[in-house]
C-alpha cells in the first residue's frame, strides 16, 4: 500500500539544540502508525512540523507523493492534515460549536451568521462523530478535561481527509472505546493516522507498526507484533530496562497528622473525611466526575469549600487561595491537572518558572535577574531530574514531560511539607515517570506528605501507602497498602463499597 505521508532526513534545530536529526518514516493509507520515544526524543517537534506550526531546517515531506510544506495549521488542514494536540488548543470562552468550526466560524458573506445557525452546525458535527453527551452550546471552560479532550479530537477528525495526527489522545479520556471506534472509521476511509502515546497497551491494540525516536533521531520502524515491550523500551532508551518493582512507602499511623478534612464539601464532593500523615503517599482513585478534582482543588486552595472543615497542622484553616494554602504551616502546594493553562508561564525560561516560588514569597521586594533565577532553580531542578541545559529554554518549547518537571521543581522550592498532585505523570514517558515517582518517594521519606490522584490504576497500586476511592462524591473505600490491587480499586470505583473499609473482598 502506498504511503500517504513520507518523511525523509527531517531535521529541526533551535539555536544550539538539535530537536530532530535525520528522521525517516512512512505512513500508509488506512494505517494507524505509532510514534514512540521518551520525552525530549523529538515527538512534539515532529507534530509541530507536520501541523505547520514550525518549518523544518532540512529534509523533505511528501503527502500522497507531492511535496508537503505547510506554513500554518490552517494550511495543513487545507491539504487534509489535521492534529489533535496534547496541550489542548481550544478557546475556553467560546462555545463547543464555535471551537469546532474555527478558524472560520461564520459562513456569512455580508453579515455574521446567527449563533443559532452556528450551534446547529456544531451539533451536526458532534452527532457525525458520535458525541451525544456534550451540548454544542456549552462554553468550553465549563467542560471537564475529558470532555475538552474529546472536542479537540472531534475537531481534528472533522478536518482529516488524508492524515490525522493524535498526540497523547487518551491522556485525559476515561476509556478508549469512543476514540478507537472513530479511528477505525477514519482508517476505513483511507485516512492515515499518526498515533503518539506512552501507553504501550493501547498502542498495541490500535497500531500495526511503530517508529521509535531517540535523541531526535529515528531508531527504526517495527511491526508491533514482532517485538516485546522490553525490546521497544530498549530502542527508546538505548538499553534494556530493569524490572520495575513496587516500592510504595509503608504507612505510619503514629506519624504527625499534617492535614485532615471533616465532611468537606464543594463542587461534586458531597462530604469527605480524610487524614494525611507525615511520611506517606495517599492515592485517590475514581472514575471521571466522582469528585476527585474538587477534593484536590479544595485541599490545595484552588477552590472554596461549600461546607466542612480543613485542618492543617492541627489548626482549622481557611484556604481561600493556593497562596494562602502555601503560607498555612506546614504549607500546601497544589500542582494542577492542566499545566499549560494553570501552571506554566510558557514565554518565561524554565529557571524563571521554577524560581517564581522563591521570588513570589517573602513579603518584600527583591531584585530579579537571570543569574539569580538559575542559581535558585538548579538545585530544585536536580530533585526532579530536570537537565540543567533546559533551564535557559522557554518553557513553551520544552516537551510535556519536562514542563511537568518544571512545575514539580517549583513546588519543591516552596518548602511546603504537603504536595497535592493531580495526575502528575499524565502523558509523560516511562523515564520521566520514574523520575517523578522517585521524587515523590524521596519527598515523603524526608517527612513530607503527598495526596495525589491518578487516572492509571497501576500507578496508584505502585505508589500509594493507602488509597482512597471516591464514588458519587463520597469516600466509597479506603484500601490499605497490603490490599491494594487494580481489581479492588476498580470494583470500589464502580460503587462496590459504600463506606471506608479495610476489607474489599465483597467488592470483587
> Is 422 within a domain?
yes
Q: What is the pLDDT of residue 363?
A: 47
How buried is residue 259: exposed, middle or buried, by Cβ count under 10 Å (0-12/13-18/19+)?
buried
Q: What is the pLDDT of residue 432?
A: 86
Average pLDDT over residues 80-100: 91
> Is 405 within a domain?
yes
- Residue 395 and residue 444 in one domain: no
Average pLDDT over residues 232-237: 82
Last residue of a domain, one of 393, 415, 437: 415
CA dihedral 19, 438, 339, 391 (to 10 degrees): -50
Q: Report pLDDT digits (tens) over 360-378.
A: 555 445 556 667 788 889 9
Q: What angle do CA 62, 68, 74 make, to 5 degrees?
A: 140
> Is 171 within a domain?
yes
Q: What is the pLDDT of residue 252?
A: 66
> Is 89 within a domain?
yes
For 496, residues 6+ apart whose C-beta sits below 8 A from its C-beta are 476, 504, 506, 507, 508
By DSSP bridging, strand 449-453 and strand 281-285 are: parallel
- Residue 361 and residue 280 in one domain: no
How buried is residue 322: exposed, middle or buried, by Cβ count under 10 Å (0-12/13-18/19+)?
buried
Q: What angle do CA 55, 59, 63 make, to 5 degrees?
A: 75
Higher pLDDT, 167 or 289: 167
Are 443 and 212 in contact, with CB atoms under 8 Å apart? no
- Residue 302 and residue 363 in one domain: no
Checking if the pLDDT of 497 tops 60, the result is no
Helices (H) and strands (E) in the chain, counts: 17, 20
151: its cell numbers: 472536542
Total count of domains within the chain: 3
How buried is residue 333: exposed, middle or buried, by Cβ count under 10 Å (0-12/13-18/19+)?
buried
Q: What angle do CA 274, 278, 283 make, to 5 degrees?
A: 50
Could you tell me the CA-to-CA distances from 173 to 43, 95, 152, 167 in Å, in that order?
A: 21, 20, 12, 13
- Residue 290 and residue 363 in one domain: no
Q: Among all chains, which residue has been given the C-alpha cell 506512552?
A: 198
Q: Name the least confident of 132-141, 335-344, 388-397, 497-506.
A: 497-506
- Residue 289 and residue 357 in one domain: no
Is 393 strand, coil or helix? coil
- Residue 290 and residue 200 in one domain: no
Reported as type and span, the H/E element at residue 10 is strand 3-14
What average pLDDT does the structure give for the chain?
Answer: 88
Is 47 strand, coil or helix? helix
Are 303 and 484 in contact, with CB atoms under 8 Å apart? no
> Is 121 within a domain?
no
Q: What is the pLDDT of residue 496?
A: 61
pLDDT tier at 318 (50, 70, 90 boundaries)?
Answer: very high
Checking if the pLDDT of 109 tops 70, the result is no
Q: List the beta strands (DSSP E) in 252-375.
A: 257-266, 269-277, 281-285, 307-312, 315-317, 332-335
Q: Is the peptide bond before 386 cis (omega within 30 degrees of 0)?
A: no
Q: Name the least confident of 135-139, 236-240, 241-245, 286-290.
A: 241-245
- Residue 160 and residue 198 in one domain: yes
Q: Report pLDDT digits (tens) over 175-199.
A: 899 999 999 999 999 999 999 988 8
Q: Name the least confident of 2-16, 70-84, 119-133, 320-334.
A: 2-16
pLDDT tier at 500 (50, 70, 90 boundaries)?
Answer: very low
347: its cell numbers: 514565554
pLDDT tier at 28 (50, 70, 90 boundaries)?
Answer: very high
- Residue 73 and residue 148 in one domain: yes
Last residue of a domain, one of 205, 237, 269: 237
**What is the SS3 assignment for 301-323?**
CCCCCCEEEEEECCEEECCCCHH
Checking if the pLDDT of 508 tops 60, the result is no
- How far is 345 from 330, CA to CA, in rounded Å? 26
Are 29 and 208 in contact, with CB atoms under 8 Å apart? no
- Residue 284 and residue 232 in one domain: no
Average pLDDT over residues 135-139: 96
Q: What is the pLDDT of residue 246?
A: 52
Could you tell me the CA-to-CA distances from 461 to 73, 110, 423, 480 in Å, in that order?
A: 41, 60, 14, 10
Average pLDDT over residues 337-354: 85
Average pLDDT over residues 137-148: 92
Checking if the pLDDT of 239 tops 70, the result is no
Q: What is the pLDDT of residue 383?
A: 92
> Is 338 within a domain?
no
Question: Please, what is the angle between helix 145-159 and helix 115-128, to 10°?
Answer: 90
Q: For 22-28, which contacts have Cβ atoms below 8 Å and span 24 or more sequence positions?
A: 22/59, 22/217, 22/218, 23/59, 23/213, 23/216, 23/217, 23/218, 24/218, 25/211, 25/218, 25/221, 26/221, 27/3, 27/163, 27/192, 27/193, 27/194, 28/1, 28/2, 28/3, 28/4, 28/192
Q: Report pLDDT digits (tens) over 434-458.
A: 899 999 999 999 999 999 999 888 8
Q: What is the pLDDT of residue 129?
A: 97
Q: What is the pLDDT of residue 271?
A: 94
- Residue 160 and residue 226 in one domain: yes
Check the CA dihedral 439-444-448-453 and report its sign: positive
- Residue 257 and residue 313 in one domain: yes
> Is 107 within a domain?
no
Return the CATH number at 478.
3.40.50.300
CA end-to-end span of the chain: 47
Last residue of a domain, one of 415, 447, 464: 415
- Residue 169 and residue 213 in one domain: yes
Q: What is the pLDDT of residue 503?
A: 37
Q: Report pLDDT digits (tens) over 199-220.
A: 888 999 999 999 999 889 999 9
Q: What is the pLDDT of residue 158?
A: 95
Q: What is the pLDDT of residue 401?
A: 86
- How far is 79 from 4, CA to CA, in rounded Å? 12
Are 51 and 165 in contact, with CB atoms under 8 Å apart? yes
- In 3D space, the residue among 154, 156, 126 whose CA is nearest the CA of residue 50 turns out to be 156
**Host domain of residue 411:** 346-415
Are 351 and 371 in contact, with CB atoms under 8 Å apart? no
pLDDT tier at 507 (50, 70, 90 boundaries)?
Answer: very low
> Is 275 within a domain?
yes
Amino acid at each position: 500500500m502506498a504511503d500517504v505521508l513520507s518523511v525523509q532526513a527531517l531535521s529541526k534545530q533551535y539555536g544550539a539544540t538539535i530537536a530532530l536529526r535525520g528522521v525517516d518514516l512512512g505512513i500508509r493509507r488506512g494505517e494507524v502508525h505509532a510514534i514512540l520515544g521518551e520525552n525530549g526524543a523529538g515527538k512534539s517537534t515532529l507534530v509541530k512540523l507536520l501541523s505547520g506550526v514550525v518549518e523544518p531546517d532540512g529534509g523533505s515531506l511528501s503527502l500522497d507523493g507531492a511535496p508537503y510544506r505547510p506554513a500554518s495549521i490552517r494550511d495543513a488542514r487545507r491539504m487534509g492534515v489535521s492534529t489533535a494536540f496534547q496541550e489542548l488548543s481550544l478557546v475556553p470562552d467560546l462555545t463547543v460549536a464555535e471551537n469546532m468550526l474555527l478558524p472560520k466560524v461564520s459562513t456569512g458573506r455580508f453579515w455574521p451568521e446567527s449563533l443559532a445557525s452556528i450551534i446547529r452546525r456544531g451539533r451536526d458535527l458532534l452527532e457525525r462523530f458520535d458525541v451525544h453527551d456534550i451540548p454544542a452550546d456549552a462554553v468550553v471552560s465549563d467542560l471537564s478535561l475529558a470532555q475538552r479532550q474529546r472536542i479537540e479530537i472531534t475537531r481534528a477528525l472533522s478536518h482529516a481527509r488524508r492524515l490525522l495526527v493524535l498526540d497523547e489522545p487518551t491522556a485525559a479520556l476515561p476509556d478508549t472505546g469512543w476514540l478507537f471506534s472513530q479511528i477505525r472509521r477514519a482508517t476505513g476511509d483511507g485516512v492515515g493516522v499518526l498515533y503518539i502515546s506512552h501507553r504501550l497497551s493501547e498502542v498495541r491494540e490500535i497500531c500495526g507498526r511503530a517508529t521509535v525516536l531517540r535523541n531526535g533521531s529515528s531508531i527504526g520502524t517495527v511491526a508491533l507484533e514482532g517485538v516485546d515491550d522490553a525490546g521497544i523500551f530498549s530502542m527508546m532508551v538505548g538499553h534494556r530496562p530493569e524490572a520495575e518493582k513496587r516500592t510504595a512507602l509503608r504507612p505510619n499511623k503514629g506519624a504527625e497528622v499534617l492535614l485532615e478534612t471533616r465532611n468537606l464539601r464543594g463542587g461534586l464532593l458531597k462530604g469527605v473525611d480524610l487524614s494525611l500523615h507525615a511520611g506517606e503517599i495517599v492515592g485517590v482513585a475514581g472514575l471521571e466526575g466522582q469528585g476527585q478534582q474538587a477534593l484536590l482543588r479544595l485541599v490545595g486552595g484552588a477552590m472554596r469549600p461549600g461546607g466542612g472543615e480543613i485542618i492543617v497542622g492541627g489548626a482549622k484553616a481557611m484556604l481561600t487561595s493556593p497562596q494562602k494554602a502555601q503560607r498555612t504551616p506546614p504549607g500546601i502546594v497544589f500542582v494542577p491537572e492542566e499545566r499549560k493553562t494553570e501552571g506554566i508561564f510558557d514565554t518565561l525560561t524554565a529557571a524563571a518558572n521554577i524560581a517564581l516560588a522563591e521570588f513570589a514569597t517573602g513579603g518584600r521586594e527583591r531584585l530579579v535577574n537571570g543569574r539569580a533565577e538559575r542559581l535558585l532553580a538548579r538545585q530544585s531542578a536536580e530533585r526532579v531530574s530536570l537537565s540543567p541545559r533546559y533551564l535557559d529554554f522557554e518553557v513553551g518549547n520544552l516537551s510535556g514531560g519536562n514542563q511537568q518537571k518544571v512545575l514539580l521543581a517549583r513546588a519543591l522550592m516552596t518548602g511546603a511539607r504537603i504536595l497535592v498532585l493531580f495526575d502528575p505523570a499524565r502523558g509523560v514517558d516511562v523515564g520521566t515517570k520514574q523520575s517523578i515517582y522517585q521524587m515523590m518517594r524521596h519527598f515523603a521519606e524526608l517527612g513530607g506528605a503527598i495526596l495525589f490522584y491518578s487516572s492509571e490504576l497501576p500507578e496508584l497500586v505502585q505508589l500509594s501507602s493507602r488509597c482512597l476511592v471516591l464514588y458519587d462524591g463520597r469516600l466509597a473505600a479506603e484500601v490499605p497498602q497490603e490490599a491494594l490491587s487494580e481489581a479492588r480499586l476498580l470494583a470500589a470505583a464502580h460503587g462496590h463499597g459504600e463506606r471506608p473499609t479495610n476489607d474489599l473482598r465483597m467488592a470483587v
